[in-house]
Structure 1
Amino acid sequence: MPVLSFQLANVSFAIDLSVGHLVHFTVAEDGRVLSPLHRAPWVDDPDAVFEETTPPNVRRLSGDFFCAPFGRNDIEPGPTHGWPANSAWSHSGTDETEDRLTAVFTLDRKVMGATIEKRLSLRAGHPFLYQEHLLSGGEGAISVAHHVMVQMSAGGHLAVSPKAFACTPDEALEPEAARGRSILAYPAETRDLASFPLADGGAADLGRYPPGERHEDFVTLAEAASEDPHMTLGWSVASRNAENDRVLVLKNAAQLPVTMLWISNCGRDYAPWSGSHAGVLGIEDARASGAGHADSIRPNLLTERGIPTAYTLSEGQSISVRQAIGTCSIHESEGDVNGLAIGSGEITLRFATGRERSLTFDDGFLAGR
Structure 2
Amino acid sequence: MERWLRIQAGPADLAFDPEVGNIRRFSLGGHDILHTAHWVGTPSAQAADSVIDAHLAGDFLAAPFGTSDLVPGPPHGWSANSRWHLISRYQGAGCAGMKLMLDHDIMGARVTKDIRLCEDHPVLYQTHVIEGGPHEATAPGGLTFAHHPMIRVSPGDAIATSPKRAALTPEAPLEPAHLLAYPGRSTDLTRFPAAGGGMVDLTQYPRGSGHEDFVTLVEAEVGIGWTAVTRAAQNDIVVVLKDSAVMPVTMLWISNGGRDYAPWDGRHDGVLGIEDGCTAGAEGHKAALGDNAIAREGVPTALVLAPETRHTLRHAIAVLPRPEGFDGVKSLTIRENRLILTAINGSEAESRFESGYFSI
Per the normalisation by structure 1, the TM-score is: 0.92
What is the 5 A alignment of 1:256-295?
A: 256-290=247-281, 291-295=283-287
Shift of 1:212: 3.0
Of 301, 325, 349, which aligns to 1:333? 325
Q: Distance in 2 between matches of 1:211 and 1:294?
A: 35
After the TM superposition, which parts of structure 1 deviate over 4 Å for at least 4 consecutive aligned residues?
none
Q: Aligned partners of 1:339 and 1:59: how far apart in 2?
A: 37
Post-superposition Cα deviations, 1:12-67, rounded to whole Å, max 9, x if no partner, equal 11111121111111122xxxx4422101111121344415xx11111101111101
Gaps of 5+ in 1: 176-180
SS where residue 52 of structure 2 aligns?
Answer: helix
- C-alpha offsets along residues 120-173 of structure 1, whole Å, 9 cap, x if unaligned? 011231110100011111221101110110111555111111111111000000
Residue 146 of structure 1 pairs with residue 143 of structure 2 = no
Matched, 1:196 2:192: yes
In structure 1, the residue matched to 2:202 is 206
Alpha-carbon distance in 1 for matches of 2:308, 2:192: 44
**For the residues of structure 1 that align with 2:23 and 2:290, how far apart are their CA atoms?**
31
Are residues 1:216 and 2:207 paired? no
2:343 to 348, 351, 355: 351
Tell me if 1:240 matches 2:231: yes
1:152-201 deviations in whole A, cap 9, x for unaligned?
Answer: 155511111111111100000014xxxxx111100011111111111110
* Residue-by-residue CA offset, 1:252-299 (whole Å, 9 max, x unaligned): 111111100000011011111111111100100111111111111112
Q: Which deviates further from its counterpart, 262-271 or 208-217? A: 208-217
Show CA shifts across 1:58-79 (max 9, x none): 1101111101111121111111
The answer for the alignment partner of 1:306 in structure 2 is 298
SS in 2 for 1:127: strand
Is 1:205–1:211's contact at 8 Å kept on the other side of the alignment? no
Task: Select which of 32, 42, 53 maps to 2:39.
Answer: 42
Q: Summarize deviations over 1:301-352 as a string: whole Å, max 9, x none.
A: 1222320111111213321111001111111122221111121211110011
- Aligned-partner SS, 1:350: strand
Letter aligned with residue 262 of structure 2: A
In structure 2, what is the Cα distance between the partners aligned to 1:79 and 1:89? 16
Is the CA contact (8 Å cut-off) linking 2:37 and 2:56 kept in structure 1? Answer: yes
Where 1:128 maps in the other structure, the secondary structure is strand
Aligned residue identity for 2:303: Y
Tell me if the contact between 1:153 and 1:278 (Cα under 8 Å) persists in the aligned partners: no
Instruction: Give the distance between the partners of 2:34 and 2:9, measured in 1 at CA.
Output: 18
The letter of the residue matching 1:8 is A
Where structure 2 has 5 or more consecutive residues not aligned to the other structure, the ranges are 135-140
Q: Which residue of 2 aligns with 1:178?
A: none
Paired residue type of 1:23 = R
| Partner-residue secondary structure (3-state), 1:366 | helix
SS in 1 for 2:121: coil
In the aligned structure 1, how far is the partner of 2:26 from the partner of 2:156? 20
Q: 1:249: how far off?
A: 0.1
Say which is worse superposed, 204-213 or 322-331, in terms of deviation.
Answer: 204-213
Residue 109 of structure 1 corresponds to: 104
- Any idea what the Cα deviations from partners look like across 1:183-240, whole Å, max 9, x if unmatched? 1100011111111111110211111112532100000111113xxx6xx110001111
Query: CA contact under 8 A between 1:262 and 1:283: conserved in structure 2?
Result: yes
The SS at the match of 1:208 is coil
Q: Are residues 47 and 309 of structure 1, via their aligned partners in 2, closer, same or farther at CA, if it must alter by over 3 Å?
A: closer
Code of the residue aligned with 1:81 in structure 2: it is: H
Corresponding position of 1:65? 60
Q: Matches of 2:37 and 2:219 in 1, distance apart?
A: 29
Amino acid at match of 2:195: A
Q: Report the RMSD for the aligned CA atoms in angstroms.
A: 1.5
Aligned length: 352
Name which of structure 1's ranges 204-213 and 284-293 shifts more when overlaid on structure 2: 204-213
Query: SS where residue 79 of structure 2 aligns?
Result: helix
What corresponds to 1:11 in structure 2? 12
Percent identity of paired positions between Structure 1 and Structure 2: 42
Query: 1:76 is paired with a residue of what secondary structure?
Result: coil
CA distance in 2, matches of 1:75, 1:47: 31
Q: 1:366 Cα deviation (Å)?
A: 1.6
Match of 1:324 in 2: 316
Offset at 1:96?
1.1
> For residues 354 and 123 of structure 2, what CA distance do their matches in structure 1 show?
9
CA distance in 2, matches of 1:148, 1:287: 15
AA aligned to 2:101 is: T
